[in-house]
Amino acid sequence: MSGADRLSIRAAALALDDGGRDKPDAKQDVFADLGSPVSPLRLRPGAAATPSSSSSSAGSAKSPALCNAAAGVGRGGGRGSHSGELVAEGNPPRPPGHRRSGSGPLIFSGGSSSAGSGGGGCGGGSTASSPLTNALPTGNICPSGRVASAAPAPSRRARPDVLGSGTGHYGHGSIMRGGGGGMAPARSSIDASPFPGSYSRSPASCPAPQGSSGNLQEVTRAGNEWYKKGHYGEALRHYDQAVALCPDSAACRSNRAAALIGLGRLAEALRECEEAIRRDPASGRAHSRLAALCLRFGMVERARKHFMAAGQVNQSDHAELQRLQEVERHLGRCMDARKTGDWKSVLREADAAIANGADSSQLLLALRSEALLRLNKLEEADSTITSLSKLDNASLSSMSTKLSGMAADSYVHVVQAQVNMAFGRFDTAVTMAEKARVIDPGNTEVGRITNNIRLVAQARGQGNELFKAGKFSEASIAYGEGLKYEPSNPVLYCNRAACWSKLGQWMKAVEDCNEALKVQPGYTKALLRRAASYAKLERWADCVRDYEVLRKELPSDTEVAESLFHAQVALKTTRGEEVANMKFGGEVETVTSIEQLRDAIHSPGVSVVYFMATRNQQCVQITPSVDSLCSECPSVNFLKVNVDESPMVARAENVHIVPTFKIYKDGARVKEMICPSLHILRYSVKHYAVSSS
């Protein structure tokens, strides 16, 4: 290889990343490692080495003829490659776990010389195939510490360079002399040598596919640049090209996993990391990235296994290990609390485990959702189940966790079924329960839950058909059958309340609505049916209370607004109060004289006087809200004074700043607000409107 070729390869590598956890991995194949110079390594005491020529910092090539002096062939009779060293073609590498003592691998030039038999020379009579004059000028370290002068390269044709891979988080790759991808890549001395055949293919040996454009280095450099800018989609597109160019490269696949993580496609990233490790079992970066993904999925044991397989633990890995321990601790406490029915503790511990990194664990989300369901926080439980359903469930099949004898993935489907049942999504609930039964067919708990859900869905369907046919008494019996199997189902209670309403049994309707609202406090249908039942029972105070809650929940519902108005009128009538000034959907009354104002504020009930000016910006902004409040509170009398058109009224009320609001109750002023916020205005008006009713 010419000096220009080597500089071209080195320049292509300089664009690659510096090795953060979720940065693209560009250090597992040598095209990434060329940007990092190889540190000088001391010879072990007693090891023989031959001075070689030196040149620029283009890197070092290791001699195929030289072997590990400390672990000579004579010791055990075997010959192999040490991590960071290169054996001659045909020599198998050393088995996994072999580590050399000393400060690091010996680095020699591409040529070879005869090794002496004494001291640190090669055992077993190994000889070199070429003289020292064939050495590449690669800047090797001489035993004396002096750099020998460069020797001229021979004119014979040089063999192609093969790029070594280096390790995931540490060490540097090296350029080795040899044939194709069958040669074992050079590795850091820290990394145990893998079994023969386990190395990923060298990028230099990867043929470009038909019609492909660019080379591996250029594609990877472009992907890295997009990744650093946070454009993970573009980065993935380039990493896909890199994988197509070199499908056996663990580094290319690990880069692709990093981009997938950035896009939130965690399950795909996990599978890509698994493929990278299959191609190169010694890839520290792939093991580390896979461990972090397993932590996010809540797979504690798998995460620990891959953290250990990653090798040397850096500061980032140490922090991940601490988070792993926290997740494991909180998950254990969560499951213990579930056994005792301590649902508050289940919720607290599940949230803590999720906060420590297991944010994509279906098991933890299911535990959280079940706890919320038992605590009658159905909206939150449903929101959690929705988040859970968006996750890939491929990780659950590898979990050995059992909850009440149920497999983890079966338990997740059971919780999904129960939450869907609570919201009246009976068909979906049955589907989820059946999935749980298929996964765990021999579990009696899963069988019982599935059977109950099926019976509840059947009862609800039968009740609906009877209700549509006008057979309200029979429908109420059908809903009651469903409640035997699911005694806390709010939908069945509310449906049966509708039957009682049709039968004129208002107290029974109220009682069933109360049961439904115990389970689901914000259940709109139950509130509507209870408010209507209260109206039939002429319990106007309770009726007004329910309709006021509904008015907040359904501010644009005119039927609710009208029902609230009539309930307020009825309540005032039963109390003997004046209702002549009450009007549904009325407008704010304009006051132009002091006498008109006096008559209005001395009428029974609550009056709100709004002092404003047409061109005042604050008045322009708040006026629509005043009109809205007038519609929302028909029992309150709203008055408006334009201070520009009626200055005498403003002076009589001592108003100098607009907007100003004065609230009167039965002729007495109870509150005055100057330039209030909309929140304070609304709260004050609602407060006095409720207290007057």
**Alpha-carbon dihedral angle through residues 618, 622, 623, 629, given to the nearest 10 degrees:** -160
- Whether the per-residue pLDDT at 328 is higher than 70: the answer is yes
Q: Average pLDDT, stretch 121-125?
A: 40
Of 442, 393, 383, which is closest to residue 413 (Cα–Cα)? 393
> How do residues 278-317 score in pLDDT, each as one tens digit?
999 988 889 989 999 999 998 888 888 998 888 765 666 6
CATH of 453-574, one of 2.60.120.620, 1.25.40.10, 1.10.300.10, 1.20.1050.10: 1.25.40.10
| Torsion angles phi and psi, residue 225, rounded to 5 | -65, -45
Task: At 512, list the tokens.
Answer: 């069933």
- Whether the per-residue pLDDT at 511 is higher than 90: the answer is yes
Per CATH, which fold does 319-442 belong to? 1.25.40
b/e per residue 659-691 (b: at least 16 CB within 10 A): bbbbbbbeeeeeeebeebeeeebbebbbebbee
The residue with tokens 């070429």 is 130
- Whether the per-residue pLDDT at 443 is higher than 70: the answer is yes
> Which pairing describes strands 406-407 and 402-403: parallel, antiparallel, or unpaired?
antiparallel
Pick left, alpha or beta for residue 558 (phi over 0 → left; psi -120 to 50 → alpha; otherwise beta): alpha
Share of the chain above pLDDT 90, in %: 45
Give the Cα separation of 93 and 108 in Å (integer).
18
Same fold, 319-442 and 453-574: yes
Give the Cα separation of 124 and 401 in Å (integer).
54
Of 80, 201, 65, 180, which is closest to residue 134 (Cα–Cα)? 65
Task: Give the confidence band of 108 by pLDDT, cuts at 50, 70, 90.
Answer: very low
Q: Average pLDDT, stretch 213-238?
A: 89
- All structural domains of the chain with their residue ranges: 30-196, 319-442, 453-574, 589-692
Residues 584 and 634: beta-carbon distance below 8 Å: yes
Task: Give the confidence band of 320 by pLDDT, cuts at 50, 70, 90.
Answer: confident
Domain at 589-692: CATH code: 3.40.30.10
Give the Cα separation of 96 and 192 in Å (integer).
5
> How do residues 635-674 score in pLDDT, each as one tens digit?
788 999 999 999 999 999 999 999 999 999 888 999 999 9
